[in-house]
A and B are shown apart, each in its own frame.
Chain A
Amino acid sequence: MKNITKHILGVSALLALASQPVHAHRFWIIPSASVLSGDNQWVTVDAAISNSLFFADHVAAPLAALTVTGPDGSPVEIQNGKEGKVRTTFDIELTKPGSYRIATIREGLAASWKEGEETKRWRGPVKDFAAAGLKGKPELKVFENLSRTETVVTSGAPSTDALKPTGKGLELVIGKNHPNDLVAGEKASFILHLNGKPAANCKVTVVKGDDRYRDAVGEIEVTTDAAGVFEVSWAEAGRYWLNATVEGEGGEIEGVPFSRRASYTATFEVLPG
């Protein structure tokens, strides 16, 4: 019972973060290396929700929600996992050549309503919405969130089987460039999909890591075209954080209209030319 309580609280805390302004906190998964050579290499991965990139200064990412997909599409074991106070860390062994996806998805509903002067909130999975009995509450607002956070690492030549889109939420589709083949001084082009279709006119924000050591965040902002394509020019080598969030009409749940919010967040490494 204690475990269940902890789990629910964990999910609630994350959803609370998701509903705050986009730049309040940044979720990131960062590998010790993204381009590797040799057989059976190990990568150690850090995951956290923080303000500065990529320093763990807020809360750890939930370890249980992290998944790793191997080059052949099969799951890869998370080893030596530890969920600390501000940072989660674990290891993976790259036993096969190709690209691995390390990802986490947060999804659920968030509701708010008024009881007198007070704003009440509820968060939980879709299946619990009816039981929460919120229908008819004054000024009820309901959001459905689906947030994807990921990174990619490659042993040997890059591949794309592990990076196939799922058709759910906002996600990156590999176009001309692979996320583990990014070099300073070059331009890379990617595609964003929302629920399996091109996410047109979607704003994408890119921030270089180590913002702790500079005054200006130096965000790069680009917008997807009609085909969901966006391009980023990598001025410098380094580790970059990328985020896109879309909001729209969701439909109805139990007769209550809700808005839908989907976000895609990734960290990519750009190597010197």
Chain B
Amino acid sequence: MKKLAFLLIPCFAAAARGGEISLTIEIPRLEVAEYHRPYIAAWIEKPDGTVAANLVVWYDSELKDKEGETWLKDIRQWWRKGGRELKMPVDAVSGPTKPVGTHTVTIPKKAVDLPALAEGEYRLNVEAAREVGGRELVKVPFKWDGKTAVEAAGQGKTELGKVQIAVKAEAAK
């Protein structure tokens, strides 16, 4: 079912607005004594390493007294890169943790205006940190020229599986 959903994405492409981002994150099944769903953050970095946009932050957002925020700092590169400057929850970015499987989210251009960004070497970062478990950061570099479609993927080894980013082409003017 998850695979099917992924295959369907190109069909939406024609109708999608240029600059729309499709992000796919695979959370692998792990054989461990104590398993908790990972906290995951995905963001795009500009060529200078600063954050262009936060795409998703999945954490225990439903716990009482915002208790889930206690462990946000464990997504430590994201925390340092700018997570610590954010006031949670972040509309259209943060949400609850996800189960094992492949998850695709669509980020509309109005949330992240990639076309407006300068041409250059960008980087998708997907970082996962699991309670009593490990932490992994997958980096996916991609070129952005303001209009040409992007498809790039990376592969995690421990806490993450395949991660992919697709940016729709800007409609011809």
Contact = CB atoms under 8 A, between A and B. Distances in A.
Contacts of B77: 273
A181 B76 CA distance: 11
A156 B70 contact: no
Contact of A181 (B69, B80, B83): B80
Given A156-B84, A157-B84, A157-B85, A38 B67 contact: yes
B66 interface: yes
B80 A37 contact: no
Given A156-B84, A157-B85, A37 B72 contact: yes
B25 to A, nearest CB: 21
Contacts of A271: 76
Contacts of B69: 37-39
Q: How large is the interface on B (under 10, 10 to 19, 20 to 34, 35 or more residues)?
A: 10 to 19
Interface in A26-79: 35-39, 41
B6 interface: no
Interface in B56-77: 65-73, 76-77
A250 interface: no
A138 interface: no
A37 B76 contact: no
B85 A37 contact: no
7 contacts: A35-B76, A38-B67, A38-B69, A39-B65, A41-B70, A181-B80, A272-B76
Interface of A: 35-39, 41, 156-158, 181, 183, 271-273
Given A36-B73, A157-B84, A157-B85, 17 more contacts: A35-B73, A35-B79, A37-B69, A37-B70, A37-B79, A38-B66, A38-B67, A38-B68, A38-B69, A38-B71, A38-B72, A39-B69, A156-B84, A181-B80, A271-B76, A272-B76, A273-B77
